[in-house]
Each structure stands twice: as structure tokens, then as C-alpha cells.
Amino acid sequence: MKNKLMILAAIFAFSFTSVSFSGLLDKKVELSTLPPIVQEAINRYAEDGKIESIEKEKSKGDLAIYEVEVKKPDGSELEFKIDGNGKLIELERE
């Protein structure tokens, strides 16, 4: 019984830390340092808004994933993810 409890506690602790620290692996990057195809896609999806931040997330296979936050002139916000080929993966409007 004691061993089962210790195993459950270890599983819980591991799953909690992996969720808590998952965002720490993201790395802020500058638009000018990205491949041209990624720069073009970010500018296209930003829809004339101001790019607030770009973070490189852990890779999906061989492709990097970039999360971009944009503030539009009307005050609304966009958040989207694209891959290293400039393909849109996710788009959220706020």
C-alpha cells in the first residue's frame, strides 16, 4: 500500500512539473532572425498589426513552431502559431 501511494505521488509530481515548466522551454526570437518564409507568413497573418512578441516553441518533428502575439490598430489582439514552413497551425482572435 505504501509503495502504491509513493508511486502515485511520484506520477502526480512529475505530471505537475511537466505542465508547470512547459512554457519555460519557449524562447523569444526576433522576426529578422527567422527564415524568410516564416517572416513572410508572420507579416501576412499579423494583418497590419504590431507584432508584440514571437516565441519559438519546442519543435514538432524537424519543424520549429512559432507563437506570435499581435496588437491590431483597433486595439484587438491576435495570437497565432505557424510552423517552420510558414503554415498556419492555430489562430485566436481576442
pLDDT per residue as tens digits for the range 44-92 = 999 889 999 999 997 767 789 999 999 999 999 999 999 999 999 999 9
Q: Residue 19 is placed in which grid cell?
A: 505542465
Grid coordinates given for 44: 501576412
Model confidence at 94, pLDDT cuts 50, 70, 90, reads confident
In contact, 93 and 74? CB cutoff 8 Å = no
Task: For the chain, give every domain's residue range.
Answer: 26-93
Please tell me the distance from the alpha carbon of residue 86 to that of residue 66, in angstroms, as a whole number.
9
- Given the candidates 3.50.50.60, 1.20.120.450, 3.10.450.360, 3.30.450.20, the CATH classification of the domain at 26-93 is 3.10.450.360
Kindly report whether the global pTM for this prediction surpasses the value 0.75.
no
